[in-house]
Amino acid sequence: MTVNFNTANITALTLAKVGNPQRGESLKTSKELCRFSDQDKDMLTLAFTKPFRNLDRSSFYHSSNIELNEMFSFASTIFDQPERFLTYSRKIARHLFDQTKHPNIKSGDLCIASIEGIKVDGKTTNAIAIIKSESLFPFLEISDKDGDLQLTTHNGIYPEKIDKGCLILDTDRQNGNILYTFDKAGADTNFWVRDFIGARAKKDNDFKTRQYADMCVSFAEEGLPGDVPTEERYRVANDAITYMNEREQFDETHFQEEVLKEPSLVENFQTFKKQFKDEDGEELDHNFTISKAQLKKASSKIKAALKLDTGVIMRFTPDFVERESDILERGYDEEMKMKYVKIYYNEEL
Protein backbone atom coordinates (compact mmCIF):
# COMPACT_ATOMS: atom_id res chain seq x y z
CA MET A 1 0.00 0.00 0.00
CA THR A 2 1.33 3.43 -0.94
CA VAL A 3 0.35 6.65 0.85
CA ASN A 4 1.01 10.00 -0.83
CA PHE A 5 0.82 13.26 1.15
CA ASN A 6 1.72 15.63 -1.71
CA THR A 7 -1.87 16.79 -2.27
CA ALA A 8 -2.86 16.81 1.41
CA ASN A 9 -4.41 19.91 3.01
CA ILE A 10 -5.30 20.68 6.60
CA THR A 11 -8.93 21.81 6.84
CA ALA A 12 -9.55 22.18 10.59
CA LEU A 13 -7.52 22.28 13.78
CA THR A 14 -8.26 22.09 17.50
CA LEU A 15 -5.97 22.50 20.48
CA ALA A 16 -5.83 21.21 24.03
CA LYS A 17 -3.58 21.27 27.06
CA VAL A 18 -3.66 17.84 28.65
CA GLY A 19 -2.42 17.66 32.23
CA ASN A 20 -1.86 14.65 34.43
CA PRO A 21 -4.83 14.10 36.79
CA GLN A 22 -2.61 11.99 39.06
CA ARG A 23 -0.67 15.16 39.80
CA GLY A 24 -3.77 17.32 40.16
CA GLU A 25 -3.35 18.91 36.72
CA SER A 26 -6.32 19.88 34.56
CA LEU A 27 -7.55 19.53 30.98
CA LYS A 28 -8.22 22.56 28.84
CA THR A 29 -9.70 22.26 25.32
CA SER A 30 -10.48 24.61 22.44
CA LYS A 31 -13.86 26.34 22.58
CA GLU A 32 -13.64 27.11 18.87
CA LEU A 33 -11.74 25.82 15.86
CA CYS A 34 -8.24 27.23 15.60
CA ARG A 35 -8.00 29.86 12.89
CA PHE A 36 -5.01 29.92 10.55
CA SER A 37 -4.17 31.85 7.41
CA ASP A 38 -3.76 30.42 3.93
CA GLN A 39 -0.10 31.37 4.27
CA ASP A 40 0.26 29.08 7.30
CA LYS A 41 -1.75 26.24 5.77
CA ASP A 42 1.12 24.61 3.88
CA MET A 43 3.44 24.79 6.88
CA LEU A 44 0.81 23.27 9.18
CA THR A 45 -0.03 20.52 6.68
CA LEU A 46 3.64 19.54 6.47
CA ALA A 47 4.00 19.61 10.26
CA PHE A 48 1.01 17.29 10.66
CA THR A 49 1.96 14.79 7.93
CA LYS A 50 5.77 14.60 7.86
CA PRO A 51 6.15 12.62 11.13
CA PHE A 52 4.00 9.79 9.74
CA ARG A 53 6.03 8.97 6.65
CA ASN A 54 7.78 5.59 6.55
CA LEU A 55 6.07 4.19 9.64
CA ASP A 56 4.61 0.71 10.07
CA ARG A 57 0.87 0.29 9.77
CA SER A 58 -1.49 -0.59 12.59
CA SER A 59 -5.27 -0.60 13.12
CA PHE A 60 -7.86 -0.04 15.82
CA TYR A 61 -8.49 -3.10 17.94
CA HIS A 62 -10.92 -4.35 20.54
CA SER A 63 -11.06 -7.86 21.99
CA SER A 64 -14.82 -8.26 21.50
CA ASN A 65 -16.22 -5.56 19.19
CA ILE A 66 -14.37 -2.83 17.30
CA GLU A 67 -17.32 -0.50 17.85
CA LEU A 68 -16.39 -0.48 21.57
CA ASN A 69 -13.03 1.11 20.83
CA GLU A 70 -13.56 4.76 21.80
CA MET A 71 -11.07 6.20 19.33
CA PHE A 72 -12.53 4.16 16.47
CA SER A 73 -15.98 5.51 17.37
CA PHE A 74 -14.76 9.12 17.63
CA ALA A 75 -12.88 8.93 14.32
CA SER A 76 -15.80 7.33 12.49
CA THR A 77 -18.13 10.10 13.65
CA ILE A 78 -15.70 12.81 12.49
CA PHE A 79 -15.29 11.17 9.08
CA ASP A 80 -19.06 10.76 8.64
CA GLN A 81 -20.06 14.10 10.17
CA PRO A 82 -17.17 16.57 9.73
CA GLU A 83 -19.28 19.40 11.15
CA ARG A 84 -18.89 17.71 14.56
CA PHE A 85 -15.08 17.85 14.41
CA LEU A 86 -14.75 20.33 17.30
CA THR A 87 -17.06 18.36 19.61
CA TYR A 88 -15.37 15.04 18.96
CA SER A 89 -11.88 16.51 19.10
CA ARG A 90 -12.71 17.57 22.65
CA LYS A 91 -13.87 14.01 23.34
CA ILE A 92 -10.50 12.72 22.08
CA ALA A 93 -8.67 15.12 24.41
CA ARG A 94 -10.88 14.02 27.33
CA HIS A 95 -10.21 10.36 26.48
CA LEU A 96 -6.43 11.01 26.58
CA PHE A 97 -6.80 12.81 29.91
CA ASP A 98 -8.83 9.90 31.35
CA GLN A 99 -6.20 7.37 30.22
CA THR A 100 -3.42 9.28 31.95
CA LYS A 101 -3.36 7.01 34.98
CA HIS A 102 0.30 7.07 35.96
CA PRO A 103 2.04 10.03 37.65
CA ASN A 104 5.10 9.69 35.39
CA ILE A 105 3.14 10.45 32.20
CA LYS A 106 4.05 13.93 31.05
CA SER A 107 1.52 16.68 30.46
CA GLY A 108 1.62 18.36 27.08
CA ASP A 109 0.03 20.26 24.20
CA LEU A 110 -2.37 18.28 22.02
CA CYS A 111 -3.16 19.25 18.44
CA ILE A 112 -5.86 17.48 16.42
CA ALA A 113 -6.15 18.20 12.70
CA SER A 114 -8.60 17.21 9.99
CA ILE A 115 -6.75 16.56 6.74
CA GLU A 116 -8.10 15.94 3.25
CA GLY A 117 -6.49 15.01 -0.05
CA ILE A 118 -4.26 12.14 1.11
CA LYS A 119 -3.95 9.48 -1.58
CA VAL A 120 -3.93 5.81 -0.64
CA ASP A 121 -3.09 3.59 -3.60
CA GLY A 122 -4.14 6.46 -5.85
CA LYS A 123 -7.53 7.02 -4.18
CA THR A 124 -8.16 10.24 -2.28
CA THR A 125 -9.15 9.89 1.36
CA ASN A 126 -9.41 11.97 4.53
CA ALA A 127 -7.46 11.61 7.76
CA ILE A 128 -7.25 12.77 11.35
CA ALA A 129 -3.82 13.66 12.72
CA ILE A 130 -3.23 13.74 16.47
CA ILE A 131 0.07 14.97 17.85
CA LYS A 132 1.21 15.55 21.41
CA SER A 133 4.21 17.67 22.32
CA GLU A 134 5.49 17.20 25.85
CA SER A 135 8.36 19.70 25.64
CA LEU A 136 8.56 23.37 24.76
CA PHE A 137 11.61 24.67 22.91
CA PRO A 138 12.96 28.23 23.02
CA PHE A 139 13.26 30.28 19.85
CA LEU A 140 14.14 33.89 19.08
CA GLU A 141 12.25 36.49 17.05
CA ILE A 142 13.70 39.76 15.78
CA SER A 143 11.01 42.36 15.09
CA ASP A 144 10.84 46.01 14.08
CA LYS A 145 9.28 48.21 16.76
CA ASP A 146 9.19 52.01 16.83
CA GLY A 147 11.87 52.21 14.15
CA ASP A 148 14.31 49.92 15.96
CA LEU A 149 14.97 46.17 16.13
CA GLN A 150 13.84 44.19 19.12
CA LEU A 151 14.71 40.64 20.19
CA THR A 152 11.93 38.58 21.76
CA THR A 153 12.20 35.07 23.19
CA HIS A 154 9.39 32.53 22.95
CA ASN A 155 8.75 28.94 23.96
CA GLY A 156 6.82 26.72 21.59
CA ILE A 157 6.33 23.43 19.80
CA TYR A 158 9.18 22.36 17.52
CA PRO A 159 7.67 20.24 14.68
CA GLU A 160 10.78 18.04 14.43
CA LYS A 161 10.58 17.18 18.14
CA ILE A 162 6.95 16.07 18.48
CA ASP A 163 6.80 13.32 21.10
CA LYS A 164 3.72 11.30 20.16
CA GLY A 165 1.48 11.00 17.14
CA CYS A 166 -1.33 9.10 15.46
CA LEU A 167 -2.61 9.42 11.91
CA ILE A 168 -6.00 7.82 11.23
CA LEU A 169 -6.86 7.21 7.58
CA ASP A 170 -10.49 6.84 6.54
CA THR A 171 -9.83 3.60 4.71
CA ASP A 172 -10.35 -0.11 5.47
CA ARG A 173 -12.77 0.87 8.26
CA GLN A 174 -14.30 -2.60 8.39
CA ASN A 175 -10.91 -3.86 9.58
CA GLY A 176 -10.21 -1.07 12.05
CA ASN A 177 -8.86 1.61 9.64
CA ILE A 178 -5.23 2.16 8.70
CA LEU A 179 -3.22 3.91 11.42
CA TYR A 180 0.32 5.22 11.72
CA THR A 181 1.55 5.80 15.27
CA PHE A 182 4.77 6.79 16.99
CA ASP A 183 5.97 7.48 20.51
CA LYS A 184 9.48 8.93 20.63
CA ALA A 185 9.53 8.96 24.42
CA GLY A 186 9.66 5.16 24.29
CA ALA A 187 9.42 4.74 28.07
CA ASP A 188 5.98 3.16 27.97
CA THR A 189 4.46 3.06 24.50
CA ASN A 190 1.56 1.02 25.88
CA PHE A 191 0.06 4.23 27.26
CA TRP A 192 -0.15 5.99 23.89
CA VAL A 193 -0.66 3.07 21.50
CA ARG A 194 -2.66 0.60 23.59
CA ASP A 195 -4.44 2.58 26.32
CA PHE A 196 -5.23 5.80 24.46
CA ILE A 197 -5.50 4.77 20.80
CA GLY A 198 -6.37 1.10 21.23
CA ALA A 199 -4.18 0.06 18.30
CA ARG A 200 -2.21 -3.00 17.36
CA ALA A 201 0.04 -3.87 14.44
CA LYS A 202 -1.76 -4.71 11.22
CA LYS A 203 -0.81 -8.31 10.48
CA ASP A 204 -0.35 -7.92 6.77
CA ASN A 205 2.57 -9.08 4.62
CA ASP A 206 4.63 -6.07 5.70
CA PHE A 207 4.21 -7.13 9.32
CA LYS A 208 4.99 -10.80 8.62
CA THR A 209 8.08 -9.96 6.56
CA ARG A 210 9.39 -7.54 9.18
CA GLN A 211 8.87 -10.01 12.01
CA TYR A 212 10.60 -12.88 10.21
CA ALA A 213 13.48 -10.80 8.82
CA ASP A 214 14.17 -9.22 12.22
CA MET A 215 14.12 -12.68 13.79
CA CYS A 216 16.67 -13.95 11.25
CA VAL A 217 19.02 -11.04 12.01
CA SER A 218 18.62 -11.66 15.76
CA PHE A 219 19.30 -15.37 15.25
CA ALA A 220 22.58 -14.61 13.48
CA GLU A 221 23.66 -12.32 16.33
CA GLU A 222 22.32 -14.20 19.35
CA GLY A 223 21.18 -17.70 18.35
CA LEU A 224 24.44 -19.16 17.06
CA PRO A 225 26.99 -20.80 19.40
CA GLY A 226 29.31 -18.35 21.12
CA ASP A 227 32.43 -19.48 19.24
CA VAL A 228 30.97 -18.65 15.81
CA PRO A 229 33.06 -15.79 14.33
CA THR A 230 31.56 -12.42 13.42
CA GLU A 231 31.96 -12.89 9.67
CA GLU A 232 30.00 -16.15 9.81
CA ARG A 233 27.18 -14.45 11.74
CA TYR A 234 27.13 -11.71 9.10
CA ARG A 235 26.99 -14.34 6.36
CA VAL A 236 23.99 -16.09 7.93
CA ALA A 237 22.07 -12.81 8.35
CA ASN A 238 22.98 -11.56 4.88
CA ASP A 239 22.08 -14.89 3.23
CA ALA A 240 18.66 -14.82 4.92
CA ILE A 241 17.88 -11.30 3.68
CA THR A 242 19.25 -12.09 0.21
CA TYR A 243 17.09 -15.22 0.01
CA MET A 244 13.96 -13.18 0.72
CA ASN A 245 15.00 -10.39 -1.64
CA GLU A 246 15.19 -12.84 -4.52
CA ARG A 247 11.69 -14.28 -4.00
CA GLU A 248 8.10 -13.15 -3.99
CA GLN A 249 6.78 -15.84 -1.62
CA PHE A 250 8.41 -17.09 1.57
CA ASP A 251 8.38 -20.77 2.42
CA GLU A 252 10.13 -21.71 5.65
CA THR A 253 10.98 -25.30 4.67
CA HIS A 254 12.66 -24.16 1.46
CA PHE A 255 14.39 -21.33 3.32
CA GLN A 256 15.98 -23.75 5.79
CA GLU A 257 17.14 -26.03 2.99
CA GLU A 258 18.66 -23.21 0.91
CA VAL A 259 20.09 -20.89 3.58
CA LEU A 260 20.75 -22.88 6.74
CA LYS A 261 21.44 -26.26 5.10
CA GLU A 262 23.32 -27.92 7.99
CA PRO A 263 21.05 -29.96 10.34
CA SER A 264 22.70 -28.47 13.45
CA LEU A 265 22.09 -24.92 12.17
CA VAL A 266 18.46 -25.76 11.35
CA GLU A 267 17.99 -27.18 14.84
CA ASN A 268 19.46 -24.04 16.45
CA PHE A 269 17.20 -21.92 14.27
CA GLN A 270 14.04 -23.81 15.21
CA THR A 271 14.92 -23.58 18.91
CA PHE A 272 15.58 -19.84 18.63
CA LYS A 273 12.42 -19.21 16.59
CA LYS A 274 10.21 -20.67 19.34
CA GLN A 275 11.13 -17.68 21.53
CA PHE A 276 9.63 -15.27 19.02
CA LYS A 277 5.92 -14.44 19.30
CA ASP A 278 3.96 -11.52 17.99
CA GLU A 279 2.16 -9.10 20.33
CA ASP A 280 -0.76 -11.52 20.65
CA GLY A 281 1.49 -14.42 21.60
CA GLU A 282 1.12 -16.13 18.22
CA GLU A 283 3.97 -17.87 16.39
CA LEU A 284 5.48 -16.25 13.29
CA ASP A 285 3.94 -17.29 9.98
CA HIS A 286 5.79 -19.91 7.92
CA ASN A 287 4.49 -18.70 4.56
CA PHE A 288 3.74 -15.17 3.32
CA THR A 289 4.18 -12.74 0.44
CA ILE A 290 7.50 -10.95 0.91
CA SER A 291 7.57 -7.15 1.31
CA LYS A 292 10.79 -5.78 -0.20
CA ALA A 293 10.50 -2.46 1.64
CA GLN A 294 10.58 -4.23 4.99
CA LEU A 295 13.68 -6.21 4.00
CA LYS A 296 15.59 -2.98 3.48
CA LYS A 297 14.82 -1.97 7.07
CA ALA A 298 15.90 -5.37 8.41
CA SER A 299 19.16 -5.38 6.43
CA SER A 300 20.14 -2.07 8.03
CA LYS A 301 20.16 -3.83 11.41
CA ILE A 302 22.79 -6.39 10.41
CA LYS A 303 26.04 -5.83 12.27
CA ALA A 304 28.56 -5.72 9.44
CA ALA A 305 31.74 -5.03 11.38
CA LEU A 306 34.39 -6.98 13.23
CA LYS A 307 35.74 -4.90 16.12
CA LEU A 308 39.03 -5.95 17.69
CA ASP A 309 40.42 -4.93 21.07
CA THR A 310 43.53 -3.54 19.36
CA GLY A 311 41.49 -0.70 17.85
CA VAL A 312 40.98 -2.29 14.43
CA ILE A 313 37.50 -2.31 12.82
CA MET A 314 36.82 -4.42 9.71
CA ARG A 315 33.60 -3.83 7.78
CA PHE A 316 32.00 -6.53 5.65
CA THR A 317 30.04 -6.21 2.41
CA PRO A 318 27.78 -8.70 0.58
CA ASP A 319 30.63 -9.23 -1.94
CA PHE A 320 32.93 -10.26 0.91
CA VAL A 321 30.43 -12.88 2.10
CA GLU A 322 30.65 -14.70 -1.23
CA ARG A 323 34.47 -15.01 -0.99
CA GLU A 324 34.98 -15.04 2.77
CA SER A 325 36.33 -18.60 2.99
CA ASP A 326 38.94 -17.84 0.28
CA ILE A 327 40.26 -14.48 1.44
CA LEU A 328 39.95 -14.53 5.25
CA GLU A 329 42.02 -16.65 7.60
CA ARG A 330 41.85 -16.85 11.40
CA GLY A 331 44.41 -18.35 13.73
CA TYR A 332 46.42 -18.12 16.95
CA ASP A 333 50.06 -17.01 17.13
CA GLU A 334 51.89 -18.99 19.83
CA GLU A 335 54.80 -16.54 19.97
CA MET A 336 52.59 -13.44 20.36
CA LYS A 337 50.02 -15.30 22.44
CA MET A 338 47.32 -13.51 20.47
CA LYS A 339 44.63 -14.36 17.94
CA TYR A 340 45.00 -13.03 14.40
CA VAL A 341 42.89 -12.35 11.30
CA LYS A 342 44.58 -12.44 7.89
CA ILE A 343 42.92 -10.84 4.84
CA TYR A 344 44.12 -11.40 1.26
CA TYR A 345 43.54 -8.70 -1.36
CA ASN A 346 44.79 -7.52 -4.74
CA GLU A 347 44.94 -3.76 -4.27
CA GLU A 348 43.72 -0.95 -2.06
CA LEU A 349 40.68 1.02 -3.27
User: How high does pLDDT run on average in the chain?
Assistant: 90
16: confidence class by pLDDT, cuts 50, 70, 90: very high
pLDDT tens sequence across 211-241: 999 999 999 999 999 888 888 898 899 999 9
Query: Is the pLDDT score of 187 beyond 60?
Result: no
Query: Is the pLDDT score of 319 beyond 80?
Result: no
Spatial CA neighbour of 268 closest among 219, 212, 218: 219
Question: Do residues 270 and 217 lie in contact, with contact meaning Cβ atoms separated by under 8 Å?
Answer: no
Rounded CA separation 290/282 (Å): 19
279: confidence class by pLDDT, cuts 50, 70, 90: low
Helix, strand, coil percentages for the chain (3-state, nearest 5): 40, 30, 30
pLDDT, residue 118, reads 97
pLDDT, residue 260, reads 93
Q: What pTM was estimated for this model as a whole? A: 0.79
Mean pLDDT of all residues in 139-151: 80
Mean pLDDT of all residues in 258-270: 93
pLDDT, residue 92, reads 98
Spatial CA neighbour of 165 closest among 52, 288, 271: 52
Query: Is the pLDDT score of 181 beyond 70?
Result: yes
| Residues β-bridged to residue 144 | 149
244-248, 290-294, 301-305: which has the minimum mean pLDDT? 301-305
Mean pLDDT of all residues in 271-292: 86
Output 28 or 292, whichever has higher pLDDT.
28
Query: Is the pLDDT score of 196 beyond 80?
Result: yes
Output 51 or 189, whichever has higher pLDDT.
51
**What is the percentage of the chain residues whose pLDDT exceeds 90?**
60
321: confidence class by pLDDT, cuts 50, 70, 90: low
pLDDT, residue 65, reads 94
186: confidence class by pLDDT, cuts 50, 70, 90: low
189: confidence class by pLDDT, cuts 50, 70, 90: low
pLDDT, residue 184, reads 87
Q: Cβ neighbours of residue 295 under 8 Å, at least 6 residues apart?
A: 209, 213, 241, 244, 245
